[in-house]
């Protein structure tokens, strides 16, 4: 019996190793190009933020006007970094959990190159002042069909792998990944058709764009982040998910509340009144899946504080889950009727969006990348110092961006409401907060510069040749990495 188990285990090790090998090139390309886009988007965010307190900054370059650079910053973060990181996580996790090798890695790699070319074209057009001007859909109209074709070409193989998986258990992570895979084409195709193809009323175009903005996070980025967290938390701690019932409840509550998000942006606009209220209600109710997921994952990892402290993957993932709880709490506070009056046309929405995109999604994605990359490159991360800088500067930076933008936005909102004051006072109120945001982006840039450098060194297979993972243990008697040169016996078994 023990011999049979041993044979099955060794077969599984070989299978996992072959899955990693089959996905090495597309996943590394997606992560590395995503990291480059992240650095670029942070540089653009820095410039955009500097222009808010110093409008004369870089005015000599017309392609860096405030409107263009703001749009390019968010587009690079969403389509350059966010979606590519999500693709890498989805295709690797789905292959691993379905226990199927990828047979189309060349096609995925090709589609990933096209995706990058199309995003570059879109960003250049935005910089030339030829963007669409639609929030979160700033690329010109011809870009969207190409992006949708690339999306389908990259992710369809994961749906096929899920369909032909060996019969048995479907993991919680797979629920989220599968849902995200199918929800994205729904929201993207619908938004693209209504915004760019159909000759609809401009007000409803704004409504559809608001809905796309809300659901892109709640129905794509969030499921991918939570799918990754539900994979890593039990994997790294070696414990099962605390409660499958709570996981099921969290998933379905997100599926029910998520699709209504976004229309709160039209609060006060001449649209049927239930639309913004439904959007605001759904954003408030996001707290329910946040509590369900947060409680479940914290209960799964609790009692393993050493593992959380030492494992880069778990540390980033745990931080992402905690920030998801903060996101849910803030969502309740910022989407009540009195708060919406203050946040409608101010800086607050930006802080809240960045909390979702960087604080929740990106931290979970970093956790996944720190876990996946050593397995597909068969090398360990070079420097725990780089990882620590990445973590602490990211946490400090994102906290500062969110606090400054939300507090500044609320102050701005009070300025707008105060009719006895001139309108310029409102802008002055936000000025000192935008200094804080600029400084915070500088910290995030520092963090991600080293992350990007580290990732490229790993891609060049210059990582450590050791079977001992790079842990963040500062009190190890000799080296936390263990002996070098054992990689030849290493076969991804620890995954």
Partner 1 sequence: MDHTRDNPLKRFSAFWIAILLATSFGIALIITQPFAPDKTDKAYEMVSEGRLEIKDGIDRAQDDALNEAALAEALQAQAKSFDKNTESKGSMPVPGAAPTPSEKPAE
Where do contacts with partner 1 occur on this chain (CB under 8 A)? 100, 151-152, 156, 159-160, 163-168, 182, 185-186, 189-190, 193-194, 198-201
For residue 120, CA distances in Å to 68, 110, 116, 126, 240 come to 14, 16, 6, 10, 42
CB of 21 to partner 1, least distance (A): 19
Instruction: Select from 18, 147, 26 the least CA-distant residue to 91.
Output: 26
- Residue (156 or 407) nearer to partner 1, CB: 156
Q: How far is the CB of 152 from partner 1 (least distance, A)?
A: 5
DSSP letter string over 108-125? HHHHHHHHHHHHHHHHHH
Residue whose CB is less far from partner 1, 194 or 450: 194
Closer residue to partner 1, CB minimum distance, 50 or 112:
112
CB of 156 to partner 1, least distance (A): 5
Question: Which of residues 145 and 482 has its CB atom nearest to partner 1 in the complex?
Answer: 145
Q: Which is nearer to partner 1, 110 or 435 (CB)?
A: 110
Shortest distance, position 267 Cβ to partner 1, whole Å: 24
- Identify which of residues 106 and 485 has a Cβ nearer to partner 1 in the complex: 106
Instruction: Say whether 232 sits in a helix, a strand or coil.
Output: helix
CB 368 to partner 1: min, Å: 23
Of residues 200 and 329, the one with the C-beta less far from partner 1? 200
- Residue 44 in contact with residue 72, Cβ under 8 Å? yes
The region that residue 110 occupies, defined by phi over 0 for left and psi between -120 and 50 for alpha, beta otherwise, is: alpha
Output the smallest distance, CB 163 to partner 1, in A. Answer: 4
CA dihedral angle for residue 183, residue 37, residue 374, residue 162, rounded to 10 degrees: 20
- Contacts of 52 by beta carbon, 8 Å cutoff, 6+ apart: 66, 347, 430, 431, 434, 437, 438
- Residue 462 pairs with which residues in a beta bridge? none
**What whole-number distance in Å separates Cα of residue 326 and Cα of residue 322?**
6
Q: List, in sequence order, every residue forming a beta bridge with 464; answer none if it has no partner.
A: 380
The Cβ of residue 32 has, within 10 Å, a number of other Cβ atoms equal to: 20
Q: How far apart (Å, rounded) are the C-alpha atoms in residues 32 and 65?
A: 28
Q: How far apart are CA 133 and CA 334, in angstroms?
A: 25
Closer residue to partner 1, CB minimum distance, 23 or 325: 23
Least separation, in Å, of the C-beta of 379 and partner 1? 31
Minimum gap (Å) between residue 189 Cβ and partner 1: 4
**Closer residue to partner 1, CB minimum distance, 168 or 424:** 168
Nearer to partner 1, 104 or 444 (CB): 104
DSSP secondary structure code for residue 139 in this structure: S
* Minimum separation from the CB atom of position 167 to partner 1 (A): 4
Question: Toward partner 1, which CB reaches closer, 156 or 487?
Answer: 156
Whole-angstrom Cα distance, residue 130 to residue 150? 22
Residue 388 parent element (H or E): helix 384-417
CB–CB of 324/290 below 8 Å?
yes
Record the tokens describing residue 462, joined without a space. 């210059």
C-alpha distances (whole Å) from 29 to each of 104, 115, 372 are: 15, 11, 13
Task: Return d(Cα 148, Cα 140) in angstroms, integer.
Answer: 14
The single residue listed with the structure tokens 């076969």 is 491
Smallest distance from partner 1 to CB 151, Å: 8
Retrieve residue 266's tokens. 């039209």
Tokens 């802080």, located at residue: 351
- Least separation in angstroms between CB 191 and partner 1: 10
């Amino acid at each position: 019996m023990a011999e049979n188990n041993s044979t099955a285990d060794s077969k599984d090790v070989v299978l996992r190793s072959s899955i990693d090998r089959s996905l090495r090139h597309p996943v590394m390309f997606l992560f590395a190009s995503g990291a480059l886009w992240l650095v670029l988007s942070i540089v653009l965010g820095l410039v955009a933020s500097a222009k808010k307190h110093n409008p004369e900054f870089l005015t000599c370059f017309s392609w860096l006007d405030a409107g263009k650079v703001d749009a390019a910053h968010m587009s690079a973060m969403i389509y350059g970094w966010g979606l590519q990181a999500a693709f890498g996580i989805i295709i690797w996790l789905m292959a691993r959990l379905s226990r199927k090798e990828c047979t189309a890695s060349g096609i995925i790699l090709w589609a990933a190159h096209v995706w990058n070319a199309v995003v570059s074209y879109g960003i250049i057009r935005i910089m030339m002042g030829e963007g669409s001007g639609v929030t979160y859909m700033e690329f010109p109209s011809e870009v969207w069909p190409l992006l949708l074709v690339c999306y389908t070409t990259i992710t369809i193989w994961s749906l096929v792998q899920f369909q032909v998986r060996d019969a048995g258990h479907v993991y919680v992570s797979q629920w989220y990944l599968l849902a995200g895979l199918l929800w994205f084409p729904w929201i993207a195709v619908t938004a693209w058709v209504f915004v760019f193809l159909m000759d609809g009323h401009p007000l409803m175009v704004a409504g559809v764009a608001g809905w796309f903005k809300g659901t892109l996070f709640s129905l794509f980025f969030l499921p991918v982040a939570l799918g990754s967290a539900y994979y890593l938390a039990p994997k790294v701690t070696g414990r099962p998910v605390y409660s499958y019932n709570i996981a099921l409840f969290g998933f379905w509550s997100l599926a029910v509340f998520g699709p209504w998000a976004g229309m709160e942006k039209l609060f006060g606009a001449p649209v049927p009144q239930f639309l913004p209220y439904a959007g605001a209600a759904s954003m408030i109710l996001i707290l329910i899946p946040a509590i369900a997921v947060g409680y479940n994952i914290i209960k799964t990892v609790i009692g393993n504080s050493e593992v959380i402290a030492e494992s880069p993957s778990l540390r980033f993932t745990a931080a992402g889950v905690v920030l998801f709880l903060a996101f849910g709490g803030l969502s309740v506070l910022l989407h009540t009727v009195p708060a919406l009056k203050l946040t409608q046309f101010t800086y607050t929405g930006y802080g809240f969006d960045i909390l979702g995109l960087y604080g929740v999604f990106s931290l979970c994605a970093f956790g996944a990348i720190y876990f996946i990359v050593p397995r597909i490159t068969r090398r360990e991360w070079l420097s725990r110092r780089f990882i620590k800088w990445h973590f602490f500067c990211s946490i400090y930076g994102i906290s500062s961006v969110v606090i400054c933008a939300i507090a500044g936005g609320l102050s701005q909102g009070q300025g707008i409401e105060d009719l006895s004051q001139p309108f310029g006072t409102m802008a002055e109120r936000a000025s000192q907060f935008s200094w804080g945001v600029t400084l915070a982006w500088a910290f995030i840039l520092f963090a991600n510069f080293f992350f990007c450098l580290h990732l490229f060194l790993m891609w060049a297979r210059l990582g450590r040749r050791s079977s001992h993972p790079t842990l963040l243990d500062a009190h190890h008697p000799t080296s936390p990495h263990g002996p070098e040169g054992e990689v030849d016996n290493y076969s991804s078994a620890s995954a």
